[in-house]
Each structure stands twice: as C-alpha cells, then as structure tokens.
A and B are shown apart, each in its own frame.
Chain A
C-alpha cells in the first residue's frame, strides 16, 4: 500500500479527532466532545429513526433533551445534521440559529461533519464506530472573522472569496474550519491536482467520483 497516502489520511484523521475534543471557536472541548458523541448516538437513536421514517421530520412530536454540556437546541442540531441532512430547511435553521447564534450553530455543523467523517471511515474500514478521547480544558477563541457576510447561505461566510461555496462554508468558525479543510485535503482534493480530471491514484478520477455520487445520492444531497 502507498504509505504516503495512508499516512496522509491517518494524520488528518488524528488531527480532526484531536480538534473534536479541544476548545474550538465558541464551544469548549467538553461541548465539542459531547456533540461528537451525539453524532454516534444518532445512528441508532429511536427519535431520529422515527423522524427518518416519517413523511416529514417535523411530523414527529417531541425533541431531544439537553445534556450536561449541551442545550436541547444544540443536541437537536447535531442529531438533525447527523441523521437526516437531506431534509433540513432554512426555516428550521433560522429557528435554532435564533437561539444558539450563527457562530455556535456553524461550529456544531462542522463538529458533526468531522465526527461523521471519522465514524464513517471507521465503519468503512473496520466495521466499528469511532471513539473520541478525553476533552481538553481551556477556552474557545470566541473570535468572529472580519471578512464574513451574507453570500446567500444560511450562515455568514467569507466574502470576496474566489473559492466555491462549499469551500468557504465553515469560514465563520476558523478553528473548526481548519480541521475540516485538513480532512478534505487529505481524503479527497489533495491540492492543485484536484483541478485535473485524470488522477494518478489507486482509484481513477471517475472511480472516486462514482463513489462520491452514490454517497451523495444515498444522503439526498442536492449540492
């Protein structure tokens, strides 16, 4: 096996795992770890399963409850992101953002996404779920970037950026974004070579994109 590729991916996964238990942008290490753990719970959670089977997730009464680390709204966000991302709506997002603030909401999205990457990779390679280490103490940065604004998404993002929208989607929360971009670079794009439609990898570009297409279809993602 190409050790370079394996090391690249392993290193990015390790960095992301460390980030999930460390203080972030607006959440503490305890809160980020708790959110990541909720992602694992969403796979078998009865309420999430009931919502997935319903014609609309909003047709199912009840909601997730607060934990020692997270408010009920924060738990709700993580479970919806993890269990049923294809049926999120702007009105739902606006409601939870009004309670959490757009920075904390965006950080929860990023934490859930990173945790899902770790968990999916673990299942794909070894048939078991991801595990997270103990939380690190310390304070989040509590810094909002200056160059963010409305670019048409539900949350503020970098303005004047030449990047595609998906590349700047977590730019409101730089600490979270750093771990996220590390994962994307290692596991998919790998720098300027992304621009080439032919890849010199163990899988050809069409083979990688075939797996990507099936994955996004399974999750009913329009983007």
Chain B
C-alpha cells in the first residue's frame, strides 16, 4: 500500500482500483501511469504486446525509467513468490492500517489472506513496521 502513501505525499490522487485491475483503463492518477501499467501487465504475462508496451514506456520515461520499471516488475515477481511460498503474515502496522483498503479492493479474498488470520496487530517492540522493510 505504499502506492497510496507515496501518491499522497506527491500530491496525487491515486486510483487504486485502476492500479490493480487490468480490465480498467487509465493512468491511475500517476504520471505516465497508462504506459507503466501496460508494460507491467505485458511483462508479467510475457505478452505479445510487450515490445510495443516497452517502446511506448521508454518514449515517456526514457531508458533509465524503463530499466527501473523492468527491475520493479522482476523483483516483485520474486517478492510475491517468497511471501506466498513462506506463508508470512502481514506485519501488525500493515494489518491495521490497510484494513479498509484491502476490503474495498477485494484483496482479502486472495488465498494468501488466510495466512494473516489471527495475526498479531500490536506493534512489535523491536520493529518499526512496514517502513523497516528492506532497510
């Protein structure tokens, strides 16, 4: 849910529904969002439209922007598999702060939601929540 928080920080009105639903069109309220979303979906699916999506994205964000987008698609393909494969729970801060958004977007219907049923919601004494990820 860092999309919502970072979008708010940047003064954007992010449409999370468009962001996560490939059947919806639009830029989700993010600059070059339409090209970024088309590229992300095409790369994830190894779609025949990938070359066109790549070229369209590079035209608006440049070669380094394309590199960052490709790196993001790739690493989240790994992060998803590590999270789902090890059955980790949502961290307490994420579990409480994203409850309304998860319900609205239907994310609680995903299989992985079962892993966080009954998970602790009290902040860990030795952790700083989601912002301690990866740092």
Besides A87-B111, A205-B10, A220-B111, 13 other CB < 8 A contacts? Answer: A81-B81, A166-B82, A169-B86, A188-B72, A198-B10, A203-B69, A211-B40, A212-B2, A214-B44, A220-B112, A222-B112, A222-B115, A223-B80
Which chain B residues border A109 with CB–CB below 8 Å? Answer: 81-82, 85-86
Q: Kindly provide the distance from the CB of A124 to the nearest chain B CB, expressed in whole angstroms.
A: 4
CA distance A150 to B37 in the complex (A): 37
Q: Identify 24 residue pairs between A and B in the complex whose beta-carbon atoms are under 8 Å apart, listed by A's number.
A: A1-B62, A1-B64, A9-B71, A90-B114, A93-B85, A113-B81, A116-B77, A152-B120, A153-B89, A153-B115, A162-B128, A166-B82, A180-B82, A187-B75, A208-B68, A209-B6, A210-B14, A210-B28, A211-B36, A214-B41, A220-B111, A222-B111, A222-B115, A223-B115
Q: Are A195 and B131 in contact (CB under 8 A)?
A: yes
Known: A117-B77, A214-B40, A222-B113. A162 touches B71 (CB 8 A): no
- Please provide the chain B residues from 78 to 135 with a CB less than 8 Å away from any CB of chain A in the complex: 78-91, 107-108, 110-116, 119-120, 124, 126-135
Partner of A165, one of B75, B78, B91: B91
Which chain A residues border B83 with CB–CB below 8 Å? Answer: 166, 169, 221, 223
Which chain A residues border B131 with CB–CB below 8 Å? Answer: 194-195
Partner of B32, one of A183, A184, A207: A207
Partner of A162, one of B33, B62, B127: B127
Q: Are B9 and A197 in contact (CB under 8 A)?
A: yes
Which chain B residues border A201 with CB–CB below 8 Å? Answer: 68
Which chain B residues border A141 with CB–CB below 8 Å? Answer: none
Q: Are B135 and A220 in contact (CB under 8 A)?
A: no
B59 at the A/B interface (Cβ < 8 Å)?
Answer: no
B1-36: contact bitstring with A at CB < 8 Å (1 yes, 0 no)?
011011101101010100111100000101111001
Q: Are B19 and A210 in contact (CB under 8 A)?
A: yes
Q: Kindly provide the distance from the CB of A73 to the nearest chain B CB, expressed in whole angstroms.
A: 14
Partner of A216, one of B30, B33, B80: B80
CA distance A18 to B37 in the complex (A): 31
CA distance A154 to B108 in the complex (A): 19
Q: Kindly provide the distance from the CB of A160 to the nearest chain B CB, expressed in whole angstroms.
A: 6
CA distance A38 to B65 in the complex (A): 31
Q: Are B6 and A85 in contact (CB under 8 A)?
A: no
Q: Are B110 and A162 in contact (CB under 8 A)?
A: no
Which chain B residues border A120 with CB–CB below 8 Å? Answer: 43-44, 73-74, 77-78
Partner of A1, one of B63, B80, B133: B63
A35 at the A/B interface (Cβ < 8 Å)?
Answer: no
